[in-house]
Amino acid sequence: VSTNSASNPAYLDPIALTQALVRFDTTNPLGNEVQCIEHIKALLDDAGIQNQVLAEVPGLPNPIAQLSGDGIAGSLLFQGHIDVVPSNPERWQHPPFGGDLVDGFLWGWGSLDMKSDIAMMLHAILRAKTDGMTSAGDIVLALVSDEESGGDQGGR
């Protein structure tokens, strides 16, 4: 297991991680969900966290990761969606998928719903693995690509 280092994905700045996620246009219907999930999967793979991607519909992948615990308690589920509703770029002061940090504020479509939440979930599971933390129960990360458009292909 690696140690605290700038090259270790577990020690990514959560703001930078949120910016990276925001920069993927994951507008539903079908944006760049595949590329966003590939990015997330690469972080999990690099940290050695068991994961798989389920996709009944091409272009709408749903990653699931699990960090095994001691089995003496139930699992903790981190769940979220990476898709966003269509934006109206003309009404933005900054590009909706720019992930710009301006005066301490992160601008970007999905930064509140819910890419910042996903960044924190990723940060938590990556740190738990890298720091060698063992929880009483499993930690499960389940993300879906289709929540904003009815959820039939992932959210349900």
Query: Which residues are marked as active site?
Result: 83, 147
**What is the maximum span of the chain, computed from C-alpha positions, in angstroms?**
52
How far is residue 106's CA from residue 85's CA, in Å, rounded to a whole number?
18
- 26-45 burial code (b ≥16 CB/10 A, e <16): bbbebbbbbebbebbbebbe
How far is residue 73's CA from residue 154's CA, in Å, rounded to a whole number?
27
